[in-house]
């Protein structure tokens, strides 16, 4: 599933392609959304905003298209009406005179008014957005210390979009490594210094991933590993997807475990239980 950095980068690309231009045609695959095709054709896209793992495309008549990529959704930007060769099913297409923004495979698509956005069952429950520039370390510390979350293990807590929105499976492992916290620990098990380190890592690692297209590893190490001929999947992360490989800091083999059917990774030396 794409995480916050990937959705925000997709939002940037969509905004560049179709933002501030009139829509010449719009296509919805779902019959329940067909009535909105005529309401949005000819209107101008005024905003494209990532909301954690979801996206809102706003139009100048007050409507917004909500989408969530879930596991398989994928946005593709092409020249107008130039469709890629793919076995994926087209769910949404927004065209202007030069570009087309195409959403494949996603099934969670709605058209919302501004009041409906405020009470939307997913959007209204989102926690602090890790990629919102207005989110501060102090706010993140307060969130981690909130009694609603205080006794939940980080294994599950960091995937809860009501805690922090935009975090996902690879970011969970990466921010815990940077903060030197074992995944099984809870906020109540942590010192004030550890909570501060985690708050800083949640924001800094997520934002670096957005800026670099998914690289969470130390960028100086990345440069060195590149010169050694390592490939992207080898240098991209600190611990995620690196089971049994040596920790970049201490050479201890990285451990891979599962919780709720989803994998996570950690260094047993740098992140003692």
Known catalytic residues are 2-3, 53, 262
Cα distances from 256 to residues 2, 155, 239, 240, in angstroms, run 20, 13, 9, 8
Q: How far is CA 95 from CA 19, 42, 47, 101, 126, in A?
A: 11, 10, 15, 6, 30
Q: Which of these, 211, 208, 201, lies nearest to 181 by C-alpha position? A: 201
Q: Residue 256 pairs with which residues in a beta bridge?
A: 265
Give CA–CA dist 97/54, Å, rounded. 26
Residue with tokens 């800026």: 211
Q: Which string of b and e fits 179-217 if b means at least 16 CB within 10 Å?
A: bbbbbbbebeebeeebbbbbbbbbbebbbbbbeeebbbb
Contact call for residues 133 and 242 (beta carbons, < 8 A):
no
């Amino acid at each position: 599933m794409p995480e916050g950095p990937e959705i925000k980068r997709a939002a940037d690309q969509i905004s560049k392609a179709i933002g501030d231009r009139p829509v010449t045609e719009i296509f919805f695959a779902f019959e329940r959304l067909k009535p909105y095709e005529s309401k949005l054709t000819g209107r101008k896209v005024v905003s494209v905003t990532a909301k954690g793992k979801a996206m809102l495309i706003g139009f100048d008549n007050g409507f917004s298209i909500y989408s969530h990529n879930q596991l398989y959704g994928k946005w593709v930007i092409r020249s107008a009406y130039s469709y890629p060769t793919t076995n994926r099913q087209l769910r949404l297409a927004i065209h202007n005179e030069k570009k087309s923004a195409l959403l494949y495979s996603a099934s969670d698509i709605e058209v919302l008014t501004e009041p409906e956005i405020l009470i939307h069952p997913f959007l209204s429950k989102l926690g602090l957005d890790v990629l919102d520039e207005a989110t501060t370390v102090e706010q993140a510390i307060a969130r981690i210390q909130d009694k609603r979350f205080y006794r939940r293990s980080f294994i599950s807590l960091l995937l809860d979009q009501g805690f922090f929105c935009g975090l996902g499976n690879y970011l969970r492992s990466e921010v815990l490594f940077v903060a030197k916290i074992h995944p099984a620990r809870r906020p109540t098990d942590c010192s004030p210094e550890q909570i501060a380190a985690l708050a800083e890592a949640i924001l800094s690692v997520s934002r670096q991933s957005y800026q670099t297209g998914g690289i969470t590893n130390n960028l100086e190490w990345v440069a060195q590993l590149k010169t050694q001929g390592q490939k992207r999947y080898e240098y991209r992360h600190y611990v995620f997807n690196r089971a049994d490989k040596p920790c970049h800091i201490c050479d201890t083999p990285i451990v891979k475990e599962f919780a709720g059917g989803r994998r996570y990774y950690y260094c047993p030396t740098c992140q003692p239980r």
